[in-house]
Amino acid sequence: MSAAAWHAAVAVLILLLCSRLAAARVQLSHGGALAARRRDNVPATACVLTAVPFGYPCEEHQVTTDDGYILSLQRIPRGRRAGAGAGLGQPVLLQHGVLADGMTWLLSSPEESLAYILADRGFDVWIANTRGTRWSSRHVSLDSSSRDYWDWSWDDLVVKDMPNMVDYVITHTGQKPHFVGHSMGTLVALAALSEGRLADKMKSAALLSPVAYLAHMTTPIGILLAKTFVGEIISILGVAEFNPISSVVTNLVRELCRHPRAKCYDLVRDLTGKNYCLNNSAVDVLLQYEPQPTSIKTMVHLAQTFRDGALSKYDYVWPKVNMEKYGQPDPPSYNMSNIPATFPLFLTYGGQDDLADPADVGLLLRDLLGHDRPRMTVQYLEQFAHLDFVLGTCAKDYIYNDVISFLNRFN
């Protein structure tokens, strides 16, 4: 297809998306009937749904951010075979990625889920749920159906959610936690560390499928979403919540999949890459509980990162607005080389990952060339893709045992 034909096709697609979204904007902003039905059918707590049936002690905690979001954390204080009087181990905080929640750490068996494996190895496990997701959908004054509730990007997770949750864990355990993140969870941690946040409050960070740069992302539908400015279009139409299971978004994806450059035969594979040890039953369980909503601004912010080939704060496009927010006409950059060189890092990434592409991880590693070598471990798994790191049946043998050895080095 010629460049002219490509741009013409994109223009037609944008017009089509605008007409569909304008016709159903109310459905999207309120999540749709499907979203409402699924939310109504889940039990009251994540603990009741996941850890307790396996015999693990599990606690529900809440932390309120500085800007009023009420976040849920699940705590598995010990393994299922440890007695109630057993002492608490080293805390570790698990952070999920975009369009997911803390359930991703709990959906596999005790022999395969990182949260359970850590608990059985003596860790005090805390599971984060960022704002807007199923267990963290409340606010002290805003309703989650309002536009104001969704007025945030992942920058706010850097300066609000993550610091507040880390402080909460420290307050309740008396210890600095380790951090383990996946996908956008790693992005939030890296950005925070690059700005001098949390390095003195965490013992280490293990980053699974680390995301910083996105310029080499290869998922076709993700590229198409970014290049057609879909997030910006939805925002202009007055919608602030991006709910992947709403009828409007599923229709939007269906239209995108009609484009000859989109590959949608197997959406999980086409979005994340050819996973090495992710079986069909794991995918079926995942799709019972995920994906989760996020803000349109977060999706736009990720699209900006892809299009610009740089890692910066949210771009309001208008220099005047950027000046009001940042004191400069362009958004400030996150400089990964500013991460303290002595802060312990473990990075593991896969050769088949369409989201955390090896070339982009290479850019991150270039920024970290000055890092203290004994305090940074890098693991490359040629056959692994994005979901192998959290749901792969072989992740324990290939990844988690090494992660635990790393964490134990810095206890």
Apex 17 CA angle, 12 and 22, nearest 5: 130
Two structure tokens written together for 341: 């060189």
Torsion from C-alpha of 73, 74, 78, 80, nearest 10 degrees? -170
**φ, ψ dihedrals at 289, nearest 5°:** -125, -20
Question: 257: buried, middle or exposed (CB in 10 Å: 19+, 13-18, 0-12)?
Answer: middle
Active site residue 386: yes
Active site residue 204: no
Rounded to an integer, what distance in angstroms lies between the CA atom of residue 293 and that of residue 243? Answer: 4
| DSSP 8-state secondary structure symbol assigned to residue 136 | G
| DSSP 8-state secondary structure symbol assigned to residue 406 | H
> Annotated catalytic residue: which of 161, 235, 386, 388?
386
Cis peptide before 291 (omega within 30 of 0): yes
What angle, 0 to 180 degrees and rounded to 10, lies between the N-to-C axes of helices 3-23 and 247-257?
Answer: 160
> Annotated catalytic residue: which of 29, 153, 183, 209?
183
Partners of 74 in beta bridges: 60, 127
Active site residue 301: no
> Annotated catalytic residue: which of 353, 354, 360, 388?
353
Among all residues, which ones are annotated catalytic? Answer: 183, 353, 386
